[in-house]
C-alpha cells in the first residue's frame, strides 16, 4: 500500500465538501516534505484557501504514538485559491494550537512555488523571523528546499 495514504482523507474531504465549505484534518508532517504530496498541494493551493496549517510534535501525548511524531492539523476552505499561507511549525504543547497565530509567518504563494517548484511542499520548520530571512536567502539564491 502507498506510503501516501494520508492524502486520501483530505482529498475525500475536498470531494465531499460543497463550495466554500470548511474542512479540517490532521495528517503526518510528511505532507510538508514528501514529493508524493505534490498533487494534494496543487489541489489545496489551486482550489482552496488554506486557513491554518500548523506543525506540531506530540510531546503532550495527544495520540498513543511516539511523542516525537510530528503532525499537522490543517483547516481549509473549499473554493478560491490560496494567495499566502500563514504557517507555524514545531509547536510542542497543545496550547500552541490556541495561540499559534502569534508564532506564524505569512508565506506568500510565490515563495512556496519558488522554493519548492516540484512538490510545492515548502513549509518553514523553525519559528521566528530568522526563518523568514532564511527562506528569502534560499529564494534569492534559487535554492529549492
Band (1; pLDDT cuts 50, 70, 90): very low
Annotated domain spans of the chain = 5-141
Average pLDDT, the chain: 75
Q: Are 78 and 48 in contact (CB under 8 A)?
A: yes
For the entire predicted model, the pTM comes to 0.71
One of 3.40.47.10, 2.40.10.500, 3.40.50.150, 3.30.365.10 is the CATH number of 5-141, namely 3.40.50.150
Chain centroid, CA 60 distance in Å: 21
Nearest to 104 by CA among 91, 115, 114: 91
Convert the pLDDT of each residue in 57-108 to its tens digit. Answer: 777 777 788 877 777 788 899 999 989 887 776 666 665 666 666 777 777 8
At residue 73, φ and ψ (nearest 5 deg) are: -80, 130
Question: Who contacts 28 (Cβ-Cβ below 8 Å, separation ≥6)?
Answer: 6, 69, 70, 71, 72
Higher-pLDDT residue of 136 and 2 is 136
Amino acid at each position: 500500500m502507498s506510503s501516501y495514504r494520508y492524502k486520501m482523507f483530505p482529498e475525500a474531504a475536498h470531494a465531499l465538501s460543497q463550495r466554500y465549505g470548511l474542512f479540517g484534518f490532521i495528517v503526518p508532517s510528511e505532507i510538508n516534505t514528501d514529493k508524493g504530496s505534490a498533487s494534494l498541494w496543487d489541489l489545496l493551493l489551486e482550489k482552496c484557501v488554506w486557513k491554518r496549517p500548523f506543525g506540531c510534535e506530540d510531546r503532550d501525548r495527544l495520540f498513543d504514538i511516539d511523542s516525537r511524531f510530528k503532525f499537522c492539523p490543517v483547516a481549509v476552505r473549499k473554493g478560491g485559491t490560496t494567495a499566502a499561507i500563514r504557517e507555524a511549525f514545531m509547536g510542542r504543547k497543545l496550547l500552541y494550537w490556541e495561540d499559534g497565530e502569534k508564532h506564524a509567518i505569512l508565506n506568500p504563494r510565490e515563495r512556496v512555488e519558488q522554493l519548492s517548484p516540484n512538490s510545492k511542499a515548502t513549509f518553514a520548520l523553525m519559528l521566528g523571523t530568522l526563518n523568514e530571512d532564511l527562506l528569502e536567502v534560499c529564494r534569492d539564491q534559487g535554492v529549492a528546499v
